[in-house]
Amino acid sequence: MVIVRSVVPEGPQMLACDNCGMPVPKSTGRTARRLVRDDVYDRLLEVILDGTLQPGERIVDSDIEAWLGASRTPVRDAIARLERKGLVEIVPQRYSRIALIDAAQVRHHLEVLEPLILLAVEKATAALTPQERAQAARLSERIAGAQPGRERVGAVRELLSLWIARYGNAHLREVVEDLSLLVVVHLVNHPEMATPESAASLVAAADAAAAGDPAAAVAAVSEAFRRIDDGVDALP
């Protein structure tokens, strides 16, 4: 196991507590660790989600090793993790490549994502702080002015993150993040899916968040899902 950074407190003062079976330090002495394979995974995920590496692109381990200055083991670990997420296809003894994603996969993910995201939107919108509402207003402007594809998807992801963070359910956040990956890749690589109607719905959703109006936000997000699904149906 390769550790990038490990911080160990020096000589913590020990303090026995009445209810503990062992002496515990006054300080929590938490260890900050970051595995090389996690860094490699994050960097690869980033270039897949932003469209730098497109579906069908062959993955060359030696190129990644040279790019990130990592050894073969963490690179292979990261690629295997991406395969489990459905973003990489591995054919043993032949090749690894960025997975090809079809419309049926995207539609299935959208069907599961919609009720989860609507739940977060409904519960979180009224609880947004003034700073978060101001952020939603800025995101509305960004979505309205963004080009379809990477730019607009990035702004929409920030808006969704705002709602999900405020909702505060870690399990929902993890599920939504995982299920969103294939959808994000497809939207970035197929900007034609993003119709003017879907963009208008997303702007309305951000405006509703800025106004603290849960009902309007839910209606707008639901309409955005319908428009995006229509875009999936229109793909060849």
- For each of the domains in the chain, give its residue range(s) and CATH number, in order of start: 1-100 (1.10.10.10), 103-234 (1.20.120.530)
**DSSP tag of 59:** E
Token pair in block for residue 62: 């030696």
Instruction: Name all contacts of 91-95 with Cβ < 8 Å and 24+ positions apart.
Output: 95/58, 95/59
Sign of the alpha-carbon dihedral angle for 196, 201, 202, 203:
positive
- pLDDT of 71 reads 92
Q: How many CA atoms lie within 13 A of 230 on its CB side?
A: 12
Q: What parts of the chain have a pLDDT lower than 70?
A: 1-34, 234-236
- pLDDT of 93 reads 84
- pLDDT of 24 reads 36
Backbone angles phi, psi at 72, to 5 degrees: -65, -40
What is the side-by-side strand order in the sheet with 58-59? 58-59, 95-98, 88-91
In 3-129, alpha helices (H): 36-49, 61-68, 72-84, 103-125
